Amino acid sequence: MTYPQPRTDVQVADGAAQWRLYTKVTQQGEIYEIDSSSSAIALGPDSDFANVNLTYLDESLTDVGLVGSIHVSPGYPFAGNLTPRLDTSYPLSSGPPPRLGRVLAWLLDNYNDIYQPAGKTANDTFFRVQPYLDLIGWQKYPPTLPSKRSDKTILFQDHVAANGLGAAGSVFYLVPCFGRKFLQTILLNKSGGNVTYEVRGVNFTTSGTVGAVGTNIETSLVASAPVANNASNVKVVDASALGMFDALVIGVGSATGVAITGAPLRIYMSDDPL
């Protein structure tokens, strides 16, 4: 359980017709408590994660321990009443105090918060774009429900090492793209010299050992190679051909170990297929 818990009941108490759970996710296994009733629930437009489970207390489900679950993903919102049971507690919940029958939201997507790119050296720098969960619930059924997340563009204008690059050092960026059907990366080199560039797709796995890196699956999308001055590299990732990735890791490097300016990197992603 993450603490402090993001609140969903404040918006409803203030008279809003819906609640929104919008929070940064810092580690695998976080669980979020929802105190407010809903007539419909969907992923919000800014969610980096694509698959969320909602667990709820239902005393009619005697064959599954009185606990039900609902899966919400892009294009598959939940339409129906979902009410927290604050008058009772989950069976077999440890206490005291007992675990009240709130609706619980948790990620079905794997997220490895200690991931490091394979082959990263002491001369390299690693930046992680922190992923966010965005979940919206409506008190009354809305006229329409969102069928997808918003398209997203991320731009890195310059590439500056936090620890001072040595010779042939790279700056690696980890960009979440859970469940995206279309991705495009563009590096335009106007730096005045060669820039080393590579792109990998990453699928996370998690280890049962605390502090272990785990076995992550990396797929080379753009092999590491120089991009000449006044040249560009454009890569289109079509999920129907290459599958979906949890994240992209993109490396931009310099043989001189200095900051790279004038070589902007743009990443575009969409829930719409190519």
Question: What are residue 134's phi and psi, to 5 degrees?
Answer: -130, 115
Query: Which structural domain range is residue 71 located in?
Result: 9-107
Mark whether 102 and 150 lie in a shared domain.
Answer: no
Q: Is residue 112 part of a domain?
A: no
State the Cα–Cα distance between residues 222 and 200, nearest whole angstrom: 7
Are 152 and 261 members of one domain? yes
Name the band, by pLDDT with cuts 50, 70 and 90, for residue 27.
confident
- What sign results for the dihedral spanned by CA atoms 88, 90, 92, 98? negative
Domain count, the chain: 2
| 95 vs 175 pLDDT, higher one | 175
Binned at pLDDT 50, 70 and 90, residue 165 comes out as very low
- Does residue 198 register a pLDDT over 60? yes
CA angle 266/268/270 to nearest 5° reads 175
Residue 97 in domain:
yes
102 and 153 housed in the same domain: no
Give me the residue label for tokens 């992550």: 216
Q: Which residue has the higher pLDDT, 68 or 10?
A: 68
137 CB contacts (<8 Å, ≥6 apart)?
A: 8, 18, 19, 20, 21, 34, 36, 38, 40, 41, 82
CATH number at residue 154: 2.60.120.380
pLDDT at 60 over 80: no
Clarify whether residues 88 and 153 are in a common domain: no
The reply to whether 192 and 97 lie within a common domain is no
Give the mean pLDDT of 192-214.
78
pLDDT of residue 89: 77
CA nearest to 93, candidates 70, 72, 118, 65: 65
pLDDT, position 148 = 94
Whether 114 maps to a domain, the answer reads no
Is position 139 within any domain?
Answer: no
Is residue 140 in some structural domain? Answer: no
pLDDT: is 125 or 166 the higher one?
A: 125
Q: 170 and 218 share a domain? A: yes
Least-confidence region, from 27-31, 56-60, 221-225, 270-274: 56-60
Among the listed residues 26, 265, 259, the one whose alpha carbon sits nearest the alpha carbon of residue 163: 259
Together in a domain, 73 and 174 = no
Q: Is residue 117 part of a domain?
A: no
pTM for this structure?
0.87
Per-residue model confidence (pLDDT) at position 257 = 60
8 Å CB contact between 36 and 82 = no
AA letter at 117: P
What are the two backbone dihedrals, phi and then psi, of residue 64, each rounded to the nearest 5 degrees? -125, 30
Do 41 and 153 fall into the same domain?
A: no
Q: Which of 83-87, 210-214, 221-225 has the highest mean pLDDT?
A: 221-225
Residue 261 lies in a domain: yes
Q: Do 16 and 83 fall into the same domain? A: yes
- Within a domain: 168: yes
User: 232-238 and 18-24: which strand pairing?
Assistant: unpaired
Whether 199 shows a pLDDT value over 70: the answer reads yes
